[in-house]
Amino acid sequence: MHYDFKKQIRSFGYAWKGIRCVVGKEQNLNFHFIATVCVVVAGHFFHITRMEWIAVLLCIGMVIGAEMFNSAVERIVDLVSPQRHPLAGQIKDIAAGAVLVCALTAMIVGLIIFVPYLTRFFL
């Protein structure tokens, strides 16, 4: 079996192109990026542990990835159903709900990690 390195490099190029399609253009994704910066700054400020960094980074990746999947679902639904359709609306709502589940989970993980640091800092 022959491994096609050029094909692999092209696939990474397509992936970066996909990221550029949404960065700066999706309002919710921009919010998540701002939250990411705040969490990373707080992590550095409080010197969170390696395991806490792993949890934070997994949550960041989960939420941003979910938001990108949601953007892709919205675009594909708009492509196949440009007119309003109840099923198209449900599909978009389900995808948005998945992002919300991921974001709420990340928020809970963030609270578990940062509340003890905040408590020690302010008390």
Q: How many CB atoms lie within 10 A of CB 114?
A: 19
Number of domains in the chain: 1
Separation of CA 43 from chain center: 18
Is residue 1, in this structure, part of any structural domain at all? no
pLDDT (0 to 100) of residue 3: 77
Is residue 86 assigned to a domain? yes
What pLDDT is stored for residue 123 in this prediction? Answer: 87
Q: Which of 123, 20, 107, 21 is nearest to 63 (CA)?
A: 107
CATH number, residue 68: 1.10.287.3610
Is residue 10 domain-resident? no
Q: For residue 94, what pLDDT is reported? A: 98
Domain membership flag for residue 39: no
In-domain check, residue 8 = no
> Chain-centre distance of CA 40, in angstroms?
14
10-residue averages of pLDDT along the chain (123 residues): 81 92 91 96 98 98 97 97 96 98 98 97 90
Instruction: Please check whether residue 15 lies inside any domain of the structure.
Output: no
Find the DSSP H helices in 1-123. 5-22, 27-46, 50-80, 86-122
Q: Which residues are annotated as catalytic?
A: 67
For residue 6, being part of any structural domain is answered with: no
Task: State how far the Cα of 29 lies from the Cα of 67, in Å rounded to an integer.
Answer: 6
Q: How many CB atoms lie within 10 A of CB 43?
A: 19
What domain range is 100 assigned to?
48-123
What is the Cα–Cα distance from 67 to 71, expressed in whole angstroms?
6
Rounded to an integer, what distance in angstroms lies between the CA atom of residue 2 and that of residue 83? 46
How far is Cα 4 from Cα 60, in angstroms, rounded to an integer?
32
Position 120 scores a pLDDT of 95
Q: In this structure, is residue 75 part of a structural domain? A: yes
User: Looking at residue 18, what is its pLDDT?
Assistant: 93
